[in-house]
Structure 1
Amino acid sequence: MDAVTASAQPPVRLAAVRKTYGKGGGAVTALDGVTVDFPAGTFTAVMGPSGSGKSTLLHCAAGLDAPTSGEVALAGTPLTGLDETRLTVLRRDRVAFVFQSFNLMPALNVWQNVTLPDLLAGRRTDKRWATEVIERVGLRDRLRHRPAELSGGQQQRVAIARALAARPAVTFADEPTGALDTRTAAEVLGLMRHLADTGQTIVMVTHDPVAASYADNVLFLVDGRIVDELARPRAAAVAERLARVGTTVEGAL
């Protein structure tokens, strides 16, 4: 694929993706033929009941888990057939992650953890931008602190700052504000909204209608399928739609 064609592709594309765990009668289908594009410069929230496949969708889209069938393309590169070395380089150079496990380096302080992706990729750190991101997540006074000296919420802020400071093509976030206070969560979501407006693609799993209201579009998953979506969401509308999806699931049991 040439550079022009690659640049025209959505940064994240899933085509007929299925993910099944186990075999035979004990097999569980986490994703059931999901097809979706996440265009450049968009912020998408993924919501649904517990066990609906949200995290599996995120992991397959990010190349952290291989689908049982179907195709995933990330930053214009099909993931099928990539060896682990090439996949690691692709994720390192083009993708950032904010998951519920912070994955911070315990021997490094806040500044070093935030700028670690640049060091690993051989890039020069944009110190002004890194400083702004750290300030926006409320860690200006914690630059020299190591993870063990921080609360759980502060560690999550470091993980968020690390992802956003690298200015990746795509950021995948799994409940990124779940451990944050309301004010800091709003700051972080506003920053993510700003980055999407400047061309970054953000895919976020959340259970919070307020967090989802910062997105351009909300996808609702049930039993591994996208069953609904909501554009230009408002928190009240998201909550109403989520309740409707939950009622549908309960009625099917």
Structure 2
Amino acid sequence: MNDVSAMTSVESPVQLDSVHKTYGSGDSAVEALAGVSVSFPAGSFTAVMGPSGSGKSTLLHCAAGLDKPTSGSVRLAGADLKGKSETQLTVLRRQHVAFVFQSFNLMPALNVEQNVTLPTLLAGREPDRAWVNEVIARVGLSQRVKHRPGELSGGQQQRVAIARALAARPAVVFADEPTGALDTNTALEVLNLMRELVRAGQTIVMVTHDPVAASFADNVLFLVDGQIVTQLASPGVEAVASMLAQLGAQAKARRQR
């Protein structure tokens, strides 16, 4: 099934309707998304999984307005992205979207506080210092605000990246393998933090290959060949791993026919 109607909500900061994305043309055309319809409710944590080449990153990029669908529609923070210029999309993302990646992407010459406030300053806005202090406290770095990235552990650097994302008060945080570069214990700390943020009302959409990371989500969507084929609500690690293995085997069998 492509349509995940159980997740639809009028309070969804991200909504995709019959989204197709094709790269190339003619015989070399590749359909990365094949009619995806899904909503990500406000205050929810959704993991997106699937075999390699299933369309996970394309889904995230289209949902965030980083890539334009070939057909279908995307609404982000209530705005229809169709027909918007790159400048308009950039402004919309600055106002409503934040990203957390596997690489921390911190400025090495800046301290924690400066890294957290940099995107807001680049957007031409004055940071809300009280809110900046609060998000730094939420990620447990109040005692490290003057430290530079090189003086922090990997987990602490990812916490800075999460604080930087929250400082702009985004409608949604898109996370792409946010724990991929972390050791197991540090990854669990970051995932618990993300879980706490969702309980406080933040919306997170996370692409991951890790069943442990996915088990922290409210819902896991599984993509195969650009389509959402199933989902798991409040999943356990074993259930996620089993479903991922099953879908991977099915995808491999199709390619060998």
TM range (shorter): 0.7 to 0.9
**Match among 111, 128, 131 for residue 133 of structure 2:** 128
Supply the distance in 2 between the matched residues of 1:133 and 1:29 (Cα, whole angstroms).
Answer: 41
In the superposition, relative to structure 1, how do residues 140 and 239 fare at CA in structure 2: closer, same or farther (>3 Å)?
farther
Q: TM-score scaled to structure 1, two decimals?
A: 0.88
Supply the distance in 2 between the matched residues of 1:248 and 1:54 (Cα, whole angstroms).
Answer: 17
CA displacement, residues 80-137 of structure 1 (integer Å, 9 cap, x when unaligned): 111222211211111110123433334422221112233333341314313214426x
* Uncovered stretches (5+) of structure 2, i.e. residues with no partner: 1-8
3-state secondary structure, aligned to 1:186: helix
2:97 maps to 95
Checking the alignment, whether the CA contact within 8 Å between 2:14 and 2:74 is kept in structure 1 is yes
Checking the alignment, whether the CA contact within 8 Å between 1:156 and 1:179 is kept in structure 2 is no
CA displacement, residues 189-237 of structure 1 (integer Å, 9 cap, x when unaligned): 1221122222221100011111111100000001111111001111111
Percent sequence identity is 67
In the superposition, relative to structure 1, how do residues 245 and 232 fare at CA in structure 2: closer, same or farther (>3 Å)?
same
1:60 maps to amino acid:
C
Checking the alignment, whether the CA contact within 8 Å between 1:52 and 1:224 is kept in structure 2 is yes
1:28 maps to 30
Q: TM-score scaled to structure 2, two decimals?
A: 0.86
2:128 maps to amino acid:
R
1:40 maps to 42
Bigger mean CA offset, 193-202 vs 26-35: 193-202
Checking the alignment, whether the CA contact within 8 Å between 2:112 and 2:144 is kept in structure 1 is no
1:144 maps to 147
> 1:15: how far off?
0.6
Checking the alignment, whether the CA contact within 8 Å between 1:10 and 1:40 is kept in structure 2 is yes
* Uncovered stretches (5+) of structure 1, i.e. residues with no partner: 1-6
Supply the distance in 1 between the matched residues of 2:252 and 2:126 (Cα, whole angstroms).
Answer: 50
> 1:152: how far off?
6.2
Checking the alignment, whether the CA contact within 8 Å between 1:73 and 1:79 is kept in structure 2 is yes
Checking the alignment, whether the CA contact within 8 Å between 1:46 and 1:203 is kept in structure 2 is yes
Checking the alignment, whether the CA contact within 8 Å between 1:44 and 1:216 is kept in structure 2 is yes
1:104 maps to 106
